[in-house]
């Protein structure tokens, strides 16, 4: 376990270095939070797999190296449940590193009393318990993983973390995105006559703005047309509203981010979903682009130019 080659896996504890294309292996004691960590990484763009058989690890990495275009980092949970893991992990990891893969081992643990309480609360069985008590199974697991723990790049004792705190820690250490970029916004314009989008977190009603529908030459156009955009945004009411709206969102978004929200759906509605809501949604998208915030933009009820 402590050969020169395997010892090269060791890194000093502390802030995790940014990895170009990481194969992050999450392991450790049952009940220590591995599932929470995997879900957090999936939310920030990792390709995540739980309990991949060790024999499939090398073929899997070879396949994704050939076919993967987005170059996402990979996170794998591998532990005592994984067939052959305890017996063969050292040889497999060593071989993969010599093949050029960037392996990073994250080991999670917690105090025995904390783990016992978590198992009691979730009413789950320890994978090694069988006819043993959970306490004995935990001690056996800790002993069997001692060698793997020595190879870990990062060891986290989760005893004092709740799931929300652990999630924040993992996102802070294992993503290159700035805090503001870790939440994706989805902007949708819609028509109230067709109902509010059910997935909306925030609904913004812009039916109070002057309506281009009542301007004959603008009626057949949409909010994507420069003339309609200019009409809507040039109104005194719109200018005041947009100022307040952007200030409100600039205040609100960091608070959602602080709470760990990864997706926020903002729906902007007007009567017909053709003019005002489209203009405001587009304008809001431009504001997010200037702030380098990730977002999607769709116009749910927009019809083609010429249709009424």
Taking only the tens place, the pLDDT of each residue in 39-75 is 999 888 888 999 888 888 888 888 877 765 556 788 9
Give Cα 109 distance to the centre of its chain: 23
What DSSP assignment string belongs to 67-88?
Answer: H-SS---EEEE-STTSTTHHHH
User: Does the pLDDT value for residue 117 go beyond 90?
Assistant: no
Taking only the tens place, the pLDDT of each residue in 248-279 is 999 999 888 877 777 789 999 999 999 999 99
Maximum mean pLDDT: which of 6-15, 67-76, 155-164: 155-164
Measured CA to CA in angstroms, residue 233 lies from 198, 223, 258, 277 at distances of 28, 11, 32, 11
Dihedral over Cα of 90, 112, 41, 16: its sign: negative
What is this structure's pTM?
Answer: 0.58
Beta strands per DSSP E along 38-94? 47-50, 74-77
User: Does the pLDDT value for residue 287 go beyond 90?
Assistant: yes
Q: Domains of the chain by range and CATH?
A: 4-176 (3.40.50.300), 180-299 (no CATH)
Residues linked to residue 236 through DSSP beta bridges, in sequence order: none
The rounded distance, in Å, linking the Cα atoms of 37 and 14 is: 17
Average pLDDT over residues 2-17: 38
Tokens of 291: 């702030």
Residues linked to residue 266 through DSSP beta bridges, in sequence order: 187, 202
């Amino acid at each position: 376990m402590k050969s020169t080659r395997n010892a090269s896996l060791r890194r000093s504890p502390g802030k995790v270095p940014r990895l170009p294309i990481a194969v992050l292996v999450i392991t450790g004691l049952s009940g220590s939070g591995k599932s929470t960590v995997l879900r957090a990484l999936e939310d920030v763009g990792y390709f995540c797999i739980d309990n991949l058989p060790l024999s499939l690890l090398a073929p899997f990495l070879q396949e994704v190296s050939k076919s993967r275009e987005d170059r996402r980092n990979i996170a794998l949970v591998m532990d005592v449940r994984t067939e052959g893991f305890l017996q063969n992990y050292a040889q497999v990891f060593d071989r993969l590193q010599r093949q050029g893969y960037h392996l990073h081992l994250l080991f999670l643990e917690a105090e025995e009393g904390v783990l016992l309480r978590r198992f009691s609360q979730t009413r789950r069985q320890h994978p090694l318990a069988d006819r043993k008590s959970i306490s004995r199974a935990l001690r056996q697991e800790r002993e069997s993983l001692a060698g793997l723990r020595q190879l870990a790049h990062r060891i986290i004792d989760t005893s004092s973390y709740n799931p929300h705190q652990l999630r924040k820690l993992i996102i802070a250490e294992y993503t290159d995105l700035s805090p503001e970029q870790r939440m994706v916004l989805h902007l949708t314009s819609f028509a109230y006559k067709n109902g509010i989008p059910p997935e909306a977190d925030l609904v913004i009603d812009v039916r109070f703005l002057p309506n281009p529908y009542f301007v004959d030459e603008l009626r057949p156009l949409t909010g994507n047309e420069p003339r309609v955009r200019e009409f809507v945004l040039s109104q005194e009411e719109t200018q005041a509203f947009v100022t307040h709206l952007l200030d409100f969102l600039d205040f609100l978004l960091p608070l959602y981010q602080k709470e760990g929200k990864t997706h926020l759906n903002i729906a902007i509605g007007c009567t017909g979903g053709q003019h005002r809501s489209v203009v405001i949604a587009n304008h809001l998208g431009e504001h997010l682009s200037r702030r380098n915030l990730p977002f999607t933009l769709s116009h749910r009820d927009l019809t083609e130019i010429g249709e009424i």
